Amino acid sequence: MAERISQIGEFGLIRRLKDLLLKEGVAGRGVVLGIGDDTASFIPRSGQEVLVTCDSMVEGRHYLPECISPHDLGRRAMISNISDIGAMGGAPLYALVSLGLRPKTADADVEEMYRGFLFEPNPFHASIIGGNITSVGDSPFIDITLLGEVPEGRSLRRSTARPGDSILVTGFPGRSGAGLRLLLEKKGTEQVEDHPLVRKYLVPGHRAFAGRAIALSGLATAMIDTSDGFLGDLGHICEESGAGADLEQNKLPLKQDLIDAARAFGEDPYELMLGNSDDYELIVTCPPENVTGVITALSEAGVESISEVGKITPFAQQIRLIGGDGSERRIEPKGWDHFG
């Protein structure tokens, strides 16, 4: 019978998690001291910029516990942080995990969540080196701080796109958002957790290996991950770079399952592709002469679908959609807003 956290206590849970990390995690390079003291410590490598990001997930706001397993929840929480490191061209190194848990939570569920956390950084030989656990009432949460590294001078930003740059995107943005919508609309009526769009929402994956390959290639000018939706994150590039963008509608990537979902919703699939969706794909800008090299670098990093979808323009924060018939339509960036 599974024990509750209230039965084993905070320090009993910490001991179990420490044993799990030692058994199933990897030893992070440069770590001097991990879990077990007031702080963790590590020695940074010479010639590397240190990258730091953090992200939170709150029950009911970012995930529905009845629709996602503890293992997948751990994966999803870690993916969002790894994606941020990868979008800068870096590799993850060390994670700090803070949890707000109900006392009645089963310790086995917490251990499975940690196995989900480990599933994502282990391939990078990155490790969990600390964190915090606290008791909460109505709003359990996960908060992860992730540290990474990128060779000095190689990090890619959202503020360095230039007019004339080509715009490329990996994969098929919009699928995660469509999956969430399917999950919410079908909740309580039928099981849809195995639908490919729903799986894309529950465990979206990341492009950190590809992001690092692009940074090391030196061929790109700017990069961002699509955590807020394709159009929202392209809007971030345009805003920070003081530029605009022209998108060619007939080049936007649509997968058949998204087209089918749009038909079921009675909506335009391009609107789903452009809208709010945390797919964690990459938007990359580069000079036109570097497009082939960027595509090659992404392909060698395991990306199967890369689309060149438009150009960066000098018109600050103006994004236009160019139809197949040559028509032009101004579109406004939109994406996830925690307070929207």
Judged against a pLDDT cut of 90, whether residue 211 lies above it is answered with yes
pTM, to two decimals: 0.92
Per-residue pLDDT, 190? 63
27-43 confidence digits (pLDDT tens): 778 888 888 778 889 99
CB 88 within 8 A of CB 211: yes
Per-residue pLDDT, 29? 81
The stretch 275-289 carries a mean pLDDT of 96
Name which of 55-69, 130-144, 185-199, 297-311 the model is least confident about: 185-199
Q: Identify whether residues 259 and 125 lie together within a single domain.
A: no
Q: Identify whether residues 202 and 321 lie together within a single domain.
A: yes
Per-residue pLDDT, 164? 98
Q: Identify whether residues 221 and 315 lie together within a single domain.
A: yes
Judged against a pLDDT cut of 70, whether residue 336 lies above it is answered with no
Per-residue pLDDT, 249? 96
* Assigned domain for 221 exists: yes
Q: Identify whether residues 182 and 114 lie together within a single domain.
A: no
Of 88, 118, 151, the one marking the end of a domain is: 151
Domain containing 35 equals 8-151
CB 64 within 8 A of CB 140: no
Query: CA 70, CA 119: separation in Å to the nearest integer?
Result: 12
* Assigned domain for 339 exists: no
* Assigned domain for 2 exists: no
Query: Which phi and psi (to 5°) does residue 58 adopt?
Result: -115, 130
CB atoms near residue 218 (< 10 Å): 13
* Assigned domain for 157 exists: no
Percentage of the chain lying above the pLDDT 70 cut: 96
Of 125, 151, 177, the one marking the end of a domain is: 151
CA-based nearest residue to 287, from 170, 154, 167: 167
Mean pLDDT, the chain, rounded, equals: 92
Q: Identify whether residues 50 and 142 lie together within a single domain.
A: yes
CA-based nearest residue to 226, from 299, 156, 303, 173: 173
Q: 7-16, 60-69, 286-295 — which one is most confidently predicted on average?
A: 286-295
Per-residue pLDDT, 7? 83
Per-residue pLDDT, 227? 93
CB 81 within 8 A of CB 95: yes
Q: Identify whether residues 105 and 185 lie together within a single domain.
A: no
> Would you place residue 22 in the very low, low, confident or very high pLDDT band (cuts 50, 70, 90)?
confident
What is the count of structural domains for the chain? 2
Q: Identify whether residues 117 and 250 lie together within a single domain.
A: no
